[in-house]
């Protein structure tokens, strides 16, 4: 069947089906019966008291670990704290491999860094660790941690080619995207400056299909290893970056135009979810800008489409980019540099259309497989110049699959200045449309790279100025979502943090809001090999907690291990406390004659 040409209007229509009414849509009620879930808060039944969680009790925190595993953790985390070793870690690994040979090198890695941060080489070898963690109350988020072993030059060339259209590569066209959403050679290697996230280079449709097959195998492994697991995916692995850049550029311009009009109406500085445009004033602005005549816009903003409020919020505004509206063909935005109006939407080439179609198909295949396997799908956040498109595509998948429960979780990076707006808008959209909100909150993985790129390319730094500011945004976003969970038992959040203060804040707010761990609305997440003193006390107290569990062959996960070492040295300030607790537990076992402790 031939593919018809698709406009940005129709693309956005695939990813934005929000009703134009500002009134919240009626929520879908589950069928009555003994199995029915409540839709308005936790079940009002007698609950056992929530056990206190003690993050300083090393005996309980490390009950699941043998003494030699504690010693390994202490060694690896101590090595990660040495700036001199980290500065030369790649050269040292290369030298060790050359001196020891491949077999002995693999053994050394499994005894140290690989054994600390990676579960095993394949689906079978990871099963014992997953089952042991589960026995102590800790679940798994499986992630096939293999990355391509490209040189910086190869990575740069591959990324530049995949971020440009055929016309741009041939020199016959110039990108009209804003500079934030254009490819820049100095930042072609997406791995540079990234400490936490694995990186994909999607150079072709065949490569994207290969990545999808990898994710499918990971979903199968997660379903086979546990009954309530997660599986992580990255959307840059499922489509060419050029498509994500273009779509992100369109979404950002349209959202910025909304705030520009809001400022003209004297409503600058409000939270996005609270900002509402007066429709009458907006109509006057549309006429003055020459976008359309007064007669043409009579049917754009009516009681039928917008309700009786006479106002338009950001969700209504975004839904105007829709092939169902007459407005779509008129959409323009002001160029802030030239002052001229420019068309917002452009036509896909046939190749770009195929890329879009295939990417949406791959996401649907993965979500359907996850639903069948009883696994929840966690879409990782990525760089800011990809993220608007990633979030919109994730929302489309959530609309389709988060009907009865939150199957697909979007990720919000709270080191971004607009994180709170993004979280609150998605919560409000889920309310209106009646699907189940699911989110993972993280601080973020691309800070150094994002700041350097913004400075070099010349656009506003999207990152909060300090770690303290990021923590404040994290807690603000989390508090808003927890308030939503109090009134909506079909929503869920994962608190993905190694920060003990953030975890304590969450536990306190859960108690104040009456959110019981048995409701399984609030999940916690940490990386394998890090912060066991947080994960296992939570799990043993009955809180749903998960380890982010990478797996794959030794040599193919070395890039992941390199970043894990770097993260422990710089980002993870809590590693020093973790080393102190490990040493404290080893001394306790030595003094009490329990050095040969066996987990039970």
Tens digit of each residue's pLDDT (9 = 90 or more) over 18-30: 433 333 333 333 3
DSSP letters for 552-577: --TGGGHHHHHHHHHHHHHT-TTHHH
Higher pLDDT, 505 or 82: 505
Mean pLDDT score, 371-376: 94
Cα torsion angle, 185, 240, 446, 216, sign: negative
Mean pLDDT score, 163-181: 55
Please report the pLDDT score of residue 307 as a whole number: 56
Higher pLDDT, 299 or 281: 281
**Is the model's pLDDT at 250 over the cut of 90?**
no
In order of 70, 83, 223, 326, 529, the CA distances from 73 in angstroms are 5, 18, 28, 62, 7
Residue 240, domain member (yes or no): no
Longest dimension (CA), the chain: 88
Q: Label residues 477-493 b or e (16+ Cβ within 10 Å = b).
A: bbeebbebbbebbbbbb
- Phi, psi values for residue 495, rounded to 5°: -90, 95
Residue 574, domain member (yes or no): no
Number of domains forming the structure of the chain? 1
Higher pLDDT, 342 or 406: 406
Residue 294, domain member (yes or no): yes
pLDDT bracket for residue 531 (50, 70, 90): very high
Mean pLDDT score, 156-169: 54
In order of 35, 417, 485, the CA distances from 243 in angstroms are 43, 24, 34
Residue 263, domain member (yes or no): yes
Tens digit of each residue's pLDDT (9 = 90 or more) over 471-497: 999 999 999 999 999 999 999 999 999
pLDDT bracket for residue 163 (50, 70, 90): low
What does the radius of gyration of the chain's CA atoms come to, in whole angstroms? 25
Residues whose CB falls within 8 Å of the CB of residue 31, separated by 6 or more in sequence, listed in order:
none
Please report the pLDDT score of residue 147 as a whole number: 58
If we measure between CA atoms, which residue out of 391, 307, 330, 434 comes closest to residue 22?
307
Residue pair 334/341 in contact (Cβ under 8 Å)? The answer is: yes
The H or E element that residue 283 is part of is: helix 279-288
Let me know how long the chain is. Answer: 600
* Per-residue tokens: 427: 């919560």
Please report the pLDDT score of residue 29 as a whole number: 37
Count of other CB atoms within 10 angstroms of residue 553: 15
Mean pLDDT score, 172-176: 51
Average predicted confidence (pLDDT) for the chain: 80
Please report the pLDDT score of residue 84 as a whole number: 83
Residue 132, domain member (yes or no): no
**Is the model's pLDDT at 120 over the cut of 60?**
yes
Residue 334, domain member (yes or no): yes
Q: List, in sequence order, every residue forming a beta bridge with 413; answer none if it has no partner.
A: 442
pLDDT bracket for residue 16 (50, 70, 90): very low
How many whole angstroms separate alpha carbon 29 and alpha carbon 39?
7
Residue 316, domain member (yes or no): yes
**Is the model's pLDDT at 160 over the cut of 70?**
no
**Is the model's pLDDT at 58 over the cut of 70?**
yes
**Is the model's pLDDT at 69 over the cut of 60?**
yes
If we measure between CA atoms, which residue out of 32, 46, 36, 134 comes closest to residue 405?
36
If we measure between CA atoms, which residue out of 580, 544, 548 comes closest to residue 564?
548
Please report the pLDDT score of residue 313 as a whole number: 87
Mean pLDDT score, 113-129: 91
Residue pair 414/442 in contact (Cβ under 8 Å)? The answer is: yes
Please report the pLDDT score of residue 52 as a whole number: 85
Residue 280, domain member (yes or no): yes
Residue pair 37/489 in contact (Cβ under 8 Å)? The answer is: yes
**Is the model's pLDDT at 109 over the cut of 70?**
yes
As a whole-number percent, the residues of the chain with pLDDT over 70 amount to: 72
Residue pair 124/221 in contact (Cβ under 8 Å)? The answer is: no
Tens digit of each residue's pLDDT (9 = 90 or more) over 376-411: 999 999 888 889 989 999 998 999 999 999 999 999
Range of the domain at 275: 248-343
Count of other CB atoms within 10 angstroms of residue 363: 24
Mean pLDDT score, 323-352: 54
How many whole angstroms separate alpha carbon 494 and alpha carbon 477?
12
**Is the model's pLDDT at 211 over the cut of 50?**
yes
Residue pair 81/568 in contact (Cβ under 8 Å)? The answer is: yes
pLDDT bracket for residue 348 (50, 70, 90): low
């Amino acid at each position: 069947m031939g593919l018809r040409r698709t406009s940005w209007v129709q693309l956005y229509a695939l990813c934005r089906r929000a009703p134009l009414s500002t009134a919240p849509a009626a929520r879908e009620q589950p069928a009555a019966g003994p199995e029915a879930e409540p839709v308005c808060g936790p079940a009002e039944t007698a609950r056992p008291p929530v056990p206190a969680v003690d993050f300083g009790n090393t005996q309980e925190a490390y009950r699941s670990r043998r003494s030699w595993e504690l010693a390994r953790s202490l060694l690896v985390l101590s090595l990660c704290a040495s700036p001199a070793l980290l500065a030369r870690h790649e050269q040292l690994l290369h030298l060790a491999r050359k001196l020891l040979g491949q077999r002995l090198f693999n053994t050394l890695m499994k005894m140290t860094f690989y054994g600390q941060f990676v579960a095993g080489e394949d689906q079978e070898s990871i099963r014992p660790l997953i089952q042991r963690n589960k026995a102590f109350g800790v679940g798994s988020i499986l992630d096939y941690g293999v990355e391509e072993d490209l040189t910086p030059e190869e990575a740069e060339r591959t990324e530049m080619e995949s971020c440009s259209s055929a016309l741009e590569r041939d020199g016959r066209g110039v990108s009209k995207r804003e500079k934030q959403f254009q490819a820049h050679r100095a930042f072609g290697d997406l791995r540079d400056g990234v400490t936490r996230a694995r990186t994909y280079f999607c150079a072709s449709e065949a490569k994207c299909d290969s990545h999808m097959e990898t994710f499918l195998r990971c979903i199968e492994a997660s379903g086979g290893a546990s009954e309530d697991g997660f599986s992580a995916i990255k959307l840059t692995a499922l489509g060419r970056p050029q498509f994500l850049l273009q779509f992100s550029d369109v979404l950002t311009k349209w959202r910025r135009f909304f705030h520009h009009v809001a400022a003209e109406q004297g409503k600058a500085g409000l939270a996005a979810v609270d900002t509402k445009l007066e429709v009458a004033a907006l109509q006057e602005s549309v006429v003055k800008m020459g976008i359309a005549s007064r007669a043409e816009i009579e049917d754009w903003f009516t009681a039928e489409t917008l309700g009786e409020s006479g106002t338009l919020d950001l969700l209504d505004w975004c839904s105007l980019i829709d092939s169902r509206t007459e407005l779509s063909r008129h959409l323009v935005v002001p160029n802030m540099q030239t002052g001229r109006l420019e068309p917002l939407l452009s036509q896909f080439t046939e190749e770009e259309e195929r890329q879009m179609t295939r990417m949406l198909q791959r996401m649907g295949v993965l979500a359907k497989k996850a639903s069948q396997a009883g696994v929840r799908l966690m879409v990782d956040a990525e760089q800011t110049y990809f993220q608007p498109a990633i979030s919109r595509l994730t929302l489309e998948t959530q609309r389709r699959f988060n009907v009865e429960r939150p199957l697909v979780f979007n990720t919000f990076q709270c080191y971004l200045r607009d994180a709170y707006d993004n979280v609150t808008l998605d919560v409000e959209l889920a309310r209106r449309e009646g699907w189940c909100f699911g989110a993972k909150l993280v601080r973020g993985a691309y800070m150094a790279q994002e700041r350097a790129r913004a400075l070099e390319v010349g656009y506003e730094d999207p990152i909060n100025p300090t770690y303290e500011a990021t923590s404040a945004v994290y807690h603000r976003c989390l508090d808003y979502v927890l308030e939503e969970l109090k009134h909506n038992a079909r929503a869920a959040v994962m608190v993905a943090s190694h920060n003990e203060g953030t975890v304590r804040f969450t536990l306190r707010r859960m108690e104040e809001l009456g959110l019981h761990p048995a409701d399984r609305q609030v999940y916690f997440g940490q990386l394998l090999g890090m912060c066991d003193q947080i994960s296992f006390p939570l799990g043993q107290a009955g809180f749903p907690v998960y380890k982010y569990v990478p797996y794959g062959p030794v040599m193919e996960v070395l890039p992941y291990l390199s970043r894990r070492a770097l993260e422990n040295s710089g980002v993870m300030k809590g590693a020093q406390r973790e080393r102190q607790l490990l040493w404290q537990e080893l001394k306790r076992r030595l003094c009490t004659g329990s050095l040969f402790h066996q987990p039970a």
